[in-house]
Every structure is written in C-alpha cells, then in structure tokens.
Amino acid sequence: MTSMIYPTTNPAMSETMVVARAEGPYIYDKQGKRYLEGMAGLWCTALGYGNEEIIEAAERQMRELSFSHMFGGKTHPSAIELADKLAAMVPMQDGRVFLGNSGSDANDTLLKLIRYHAEASGQPNRIKVIAREQGYHGVTLASAALTAIPTNHAHFQLPFEALGVLRTGSANYYRGANEGESEAEFVARRAQELEALILAEGPETIAAMIAEPVSGAGGVIVPPEGYFEAIQAVLDRYDIWLWDDEVICGFGRLGTDFGANKMSMRPQMMTLAKALSSAYVPVSAAIVQGDIADCINASATEVGVFGHGYTYSGHPLGCAVASKVIDIYLRDKIFDHAATVGDYLQGRLKEFADHPLVGEVSGVGMIGAVELVADKASKKPFDGMKVGQ
C-alpha cells in the first residue's frame, strides 16, 4: 500500500492493478500485460492514447504560454478559441461558456449560477433543482447531492435540503415500469409524476431539472422513445430550464455530437468534460443560454465583480488540447464513425440477451451495458455494493 487515498475504490481492493503505459485503445500493466480499455478510461479517452497531434498541441501550448489565470478580465487566445468553438457547436441559442477542470466542478458551477440568477432576476426563492433517481452528476459537495447513487452518498452527510435538490423517477423502463405497462404508458407516468412534484413544491421555487441524455454510472439507462419530449413539455409549461449533463454523452458517445441531439432535448444549460479533451488533460465547460448569462452579468456589473472562478479556469493547456481534439473530431468525422461502429457494438451486445444471468442489454452508439441478475424472471439484482468480490 502507498500513502494514497484512492478515489471510488474499496480500500481493501486498492492497488490491484498498476497501469504503466498506454497506446491506442490499449493499456499495459507494470508486468507488460496488455488490456483493451473497453470503457475508454471512464468514458473519456475518445481518441485513444498516444495521439501525436494532441501531444504536439499540448507541447506547443506549454512552450508558448504554460499558465494564465482569467480573473480580472485577463484571457488568452486558446481560451477564446475554445469558447467560440463550443458556443458554435452546442444545441443552444447564444451559448455562453465558463471553463473549468472536471464534470463535477462544471455541475457545481451551474448550481451556483442558478442561485446567482435567482437573486439577479428578483426570484430569490427559485433555486431548487430536480434530479432523477440513478443519475450521476459528480462528487463535489453540491454535485454529489445532485447525484442519486447510494455509494456516493454513504456517510458524507450531503446537504440535499439546503441545496434545494428534489428527486423524480429515472427513465429506467426495465426497473421502473409497472407490470404490464408499455413504454408509452411509462413515459406518460414519469411526466405526470414530474408535474405533480413541481406543483407540490411550487413552480416558482424550481429553476431547473438536470438530466443525462443516457444515464451512465447509474446503469447505462437509455430513455424510452418520447421520454424527453414528454419531460420537456412539462418543464416548458412551468418555465423550468432543462440542464443537460453531457459529461459522458457529449462528443460522439451516442453517435452524435451531443446526446441532446440524439434524445431530442432542448437545454438551456449544459455541462461538458471527459471527451472534451479526450482525457489528455483535465478541462470542462459549463454553458448557459445567453439570456441567463446577460442577467447574471448585469447584476455582477452592479456588484463590481462576478465572484466565481477557479485558479485553473481556462487553463491554456486544457484549452489548447480541447480545441485540437474538437478539430480532429470534425475533420475525421468521428461522430459519424461512432454511429456506424455503435450500431455494430449494440448488435453484438444484444446477443447476450438470452443468457440466464442477463437481465437487460442497454445502450446506444458507443455506450452499452449488460446487466447481470441473480434471477432473470424476477429481475433480482446482484448486490452492486459488492461488485468484484
């Protein structure tokens, strides 16, 4: 054992594998054994390991400008270039970009912006956020409260009520449908449950609903057809924003540029990370619709400063690498390729569906899961807290 505290690990199982190097889609342990990195790291190494174009872009940026903070109006060309590229790409009107370092801090940032906007717009009580069961949105204090996975909550005493976090049901038809309920009926019920929650809490107190296009860490939950259209209709009725967490789904994972376009989402807020840089360096983006940013900026001008930012917001290295990665995605038509290969992947995964230990095969594009169950007929799951034991 080293002196390290390992993230998201059973301490009794730490240091079971030491990764020494990587190349293309493969990683190698210190004994030289090669493994296919089937999860792309943590759904992030979209362009593989050792890409010379990305490495050269990183080296060039480090030699030219290794660091510059962005406080007090300072900026630099790589940050401007990345923000402009993202604003032009995302499915959002007049998107404005705040740069950070991880998906967790991007979601944390948007939770703060919601509260800032509530004050700035004269609606100080409109700070609640609806999050779905089985959703994953990070592990900072705020983003972990948005997350709805028991292992990320145990013993942390998270401030759910103080942060205004509300829960609604997931899009998991396999686990959440009533007996004999069709997918269309399930979708209608989830929309009705969402509306009932909004009315019970008071629409004037709810700012946004956060959702992943496809829930990743919660079990690769692909929503049934028509799900987001039904959810969006409810949110529109009460002027509640849709907050699209694209940390996993963004940049081709579902076979499209963004999961929102695959799942017919119309977000007013988005978060990006992971494949934004193909995981070569940490970088993230929190993006809001222009009218939201304008309201915040007007209030911040009166105060004299917008009092939020990180030392490494818009770090030149992260921006340069992300910008190069986006260029490669677009030049090489990576999103189209992901759709083609994704069709093959999903077809092969479905071949496991009849196995007696398989409950459900789910996925879309280049994300998929095979759920193993203790009993196929009853859908009895294995204990997820003891995976690998």
DSSP letters for 211-279: E-SSBSTTT-BPPPTTHHHHHHHHHHHTT-EEEEE-TTTTTTTTSSSSHHHHTT---SEEEE-GGGTTT
Q: Give the count of alpha carbons within 13 A of 116, CB side only.
A: 22
Q: Contact 283/79 with Cβ under 8 angstroms?
A: no
- 19-44 pLDDT per residue, tens: 999 999 999 999 999 999 999 999 99
| pLDDT tens readout for residues 240-291 | 999 999 999 999 999 999 999 999 999 999 999 999 999 999 999 999 999 9
CATH topology of domain 56-331: Aspartate Aminotransferase; domain 2 (3.40.640)
* Bridge partner residues of 99 (DSSP): 285
CATH 3.40.640.10 domain residues, the chain: 56-331
pLDDT average, residue stretch 321-334: 99
The CA distance from 325 to 331, in Å, is 10
List pLDDT tens digits, range 363-377: 999 999 999 999 999
Contacts of 287 (CB under 8 A, 6+ apart): 86, 87, 90, 92, 95, 96, 97, 98, 269, 270, 271, 272
CB neighbour class for 253 (10 Å; exposed up to 12, middle 13-18, buried from 19): buried
Q: Name the band, by pLDDT with cuts 50, 70 and 90, for residue 129.
A: very high
pLDDT digits (tens, 9 = 90+) for 5-17: 999 988 887 778 8
Each as own residue / partner, the long-range contacts of residues 15-20 (CB below 8 Å, 24 or more positions apart, any chain) are: none
Average pLDDT of the chain? 97
